[in-house]
Structure 1
Amino acid sequence: MGPRGVRLLAVLLVLGLWAPAGAQKPSPCRCSRVAPHKRENCGFPGITSDQCFSSGCCFDSSVVGVPWCFHPLPKQASEECVMEVSARRNCGYPGISPEECASRKCCFSDNIFEVPWCFFPMSVDDCHY
């Protein structure tokens, strides 16, 4: 390997060590509300919980046969609004505005078609690691 290859390897190593340090541990609701059968792998065999969390992913080793390090649910404006799409209970009507939804004290997210965009929040009491 020539000097150019060594420099490239050194840069990649530094970037690889630096990148995970910027990630934050996801909120408990973003992790505990992912159904085990819907987990998308975010790690590698033998990954520790610290390594997983430092990558910005969730870790739960309590269910055998599914990924233990997995991607969290998307962030929402409020933790009470973090849930799988299948858990949404309609709180509005087709075409409801974000303002009208908020006036009903409900959550609004219009980034997925054919599911309720205005939906009831869920208590965060069941959220845990």
Structure 2
Amino acid sequence: MRPQDALLLAVVLFLGLCALVGGEKPSPCQCSRLSLDQRKNCGFPGITSDQCFNLGCCFNSSVAGVPWCFNPLPSQASQECVMEVSARENCGYPGISPEDCAARQCCFSNAIRQVPWCFFPKSAKDCYY
């Protein structure tokens, strides 16, 4: 097998695996609320927006020098709760329950230690593709 054939086979296998793993198009908040320095590449050189979205990734080619196809922020139950951890503003107290947090009309996520688990939501109006 020639080196070119092996490279072509690797690309085809990669794309096939990505198609199997690929998910639905991320929400606008999952993409637009991610800071440029936090983008992690999710594609390959020359990827189109459709190919990128088919992988379940975000696409924005408006800024040079950063990945255009990148992993989205984690999904939340409400778009108002999708944000970087550094953007969370505390809405509760240590050990607050999800129910008490919801009673304050705030977002709750205890997936990451040492950050606010109960935090104020953001308006989804500022999210865009």
If the TM-score is normalised by the length of the shorter chain, which range does it land in?
A: 0.7 to 0.9
| Separation in 1, partners of 2:68, 2:99 | 38
User: What is residue 34 of structure 1 aligned with on the other side?
Assistant: 34
| Separation in 1, partners of 2:27, 2:38 | 18
* Deviation readout 1:55-82 (Å, 9 max, x if unpaired): 0000001111100000000011100000
Matches within 5 A, 1:61-80: 61-80=61-80
User: What is residue 92 of structure 1 aligned with on the other side?
Assistant: 92
- TM-score for both structures, normalised by structure 1: 0.85
Q: Which has the larger radius of gyration?
A: 1
Query: Which segments of 5 or more consecutive residues in structure 1 lack a partner in the other structure?
Result: 2-8
**Cα drift, residue 97 of structure 1:** 0.4
| Separation in 2, partners of 1:36, 1:108 | 25
* Count of residues paired in the alignment: 118
* Deviation readout 1:68-105 (Å, 9 max, x if unpaired): 00000001110000000000000000000000000000
* Deviation readout 1:15-70 (Å, 9 max, x if unpaired): 917516x6211000000001011100000111000000000000001111100000
Pairwise CA RMSD: 1.9
| Separation in 2, partners of 1:44, 1:99 | 43
| Separation in 1, partners of 2:35, 2:70 | 11
The runs of 4+ residues in structure 1 deviating greater than 2 Å are: none
- TM-score for both structures, normalised by structure 2: 0.85
| % identical equivalent positions | 73
User: What is residue 57 of structure 1 aligned with on the other side?
Assistant: 57
Query: Which segments of 5 or more consecutive residues in structure 2 lack a partner in the other structure?
Result: 2-8
